[in-house]
Chain A
């Protein structure tokens, strides 16, 4: 198990198809560097994300999770990002309540044209999780290992 010194976080990013997912694409086209710690999961709208999805990501071994939705007022489905914001906030409170730490979860807003911001968020979140250290589940060695070393969701023990 990796100690804090050589700790490489595993971060799951739920990205809205209409903004963050396109921004990730743009970041790639622009040849922007961002940490390979981030595993992107495309969702049709950030409003698709519910607390269970976020908790399951942590249970699967994620050290950090974030939801990236459209700029406020620009949601393709009008209010999906506001719903996501409320759900993320409620889940942060729940994570604090259970002693896991709500700081491991965050919500970001960006548009499809903000490739550089996407890369910046990936850096920002990676730095935050590095400071927080490995998830308590990984520290305890109890993670199911659903997130593989290669960083993609897969079967337990699956390698790159």
Chain B
């Protein structure tokens, strides 16, 4: 999932300066799971916004709606009426959701309530970690299901480097596990250390974000 976290309220306050009627739009997908922009967080944001603006003596009218997915235009269609009645949309979706809202409602100012962080998962209640670098050319079949692109601090394809000490990466304060130690341990356990004998060639980074905005089209899925 896409993992996001709420921006500081001071930033949100600045973005909404002068606005009198805001529609907060949540999303029921990733940001609900990472507890940043689901129905519950939208309700808390609405209450906090009202409290903040009333404390400042500048009340704001707040309307809320949480859609199934902000990254799908068909789910934004039912928002038309509420959008027409507001002077600003505060999206509690990821960066994709914010942009889809802005593309859909061209005459309305749309601002993000969240900072979109990474593609990851829940490692324990309330803790989310990055797992995928979205490089566009997956090598997990060669590394025992552990991604060297995002879990190695240097994104080494043929690791580890000299900064691996006792299974920990030299980056950080000892909380980051060395991805290549993890890969070695896993491949050893599975009896597939032979995979490490074959050096990995350089990746085609044009398939990653360096090649401009990416697009996938499937003719069979198109109408």
Q: Confirm or deny: A136 has a beta carbon within 8 angstroms of a beta carbon on chain B.
A: yes
Q: Are A51 and B59 in contact (CB under 8 A)?
A: no
Asked if A56 meets B47 with Cβ closer than 8 Å, knowing A99-B55, A137-B55, the reply is yes
Query: Chain A contacts of B55 at CB under 8 A?
Result: 98-100, 136-137, 140
State which residues 4-32 of B face A: CB under 8 Å: 8-10, 13
Q: Are B8 and A142 in contact (CB under 8 A)?
A: no
Asked if A99 meets B52 with Cβ closer than 8 Å, knowing A94-B9, A140-B57, the reply is yes
Q: Confirm or deny: B96 has a beta carbon within 8 angstroms of a beta carbon on chain A.
A: no
- Chain A at the B interface: SS class: helix
State which residues 50-69 of A face B: CB under 8 Å: 50-52, 55-56, 58-59
How many chain B residues touch A (CB < 8 A): the figure is 17
Query: Chain B contacts of A6 at CB under 8 A?
Result: none
A97–B12 Cα distance when bound, in Å, is 11
A50–B44 Cα distance when bound, in Å, is 10
Asked if A98 meets B52 with Cβ closer than 8 Å, knowing A140-B57, A142-B59, the reply is yes
- Within the complex, the shortest CB–CB distance from B217 to chain A, in Å, comes to 42
How many A-B residue pairs lie within 8 Å, measured between CB atoms?
Answer: 44
A95–B8 Cα distance when bound, in Å, is 12
- Chain B at the A interface: SS class: helix
Q: Are B59 and A98 in contact (CB under 8 A)?
A: no
Among A51, A59, A97, A136, the residue within 8 A (CB) of B8 is A97
Query: Chain A contacts of B74 at CB under 8 A?
Result: none
- Within the complex, the shortest CB–CB distance from A100 to chain B, in Å, comes to 5
Q: Confirm or deny: B69 has a beta carbon within 8 angstroms of a beta carbon on chain A.
A: no
Q: Which residue of B lies closest to A97 (CB)?
A: B9
- Within the complex, the shortest CB–CB distance from B45 to chain A, in Å, comes to 10
Residues of B within 8 A of A (CB): 8-10, 13, 40, 43-44, 47-48, 50-52, 54-57, 59
Residues of A within 8 A of B (CB): 50-52, 55-56, 58-59, 94-95, 97-100, 136-137, 140, 142
Beyond A58-B51, A100-B55, list 5 extra A-B contacts (CB 8 Å): A55-B44, A55-B51, A94-B9, A97-B8, A98-B13
List of 7 A-B pairs having minimum Cβ-Cβ separation, nearest first: A98-B52, A55-B47, A136-B55, A97-B9, A142-B54, A137-B54, A100-B55
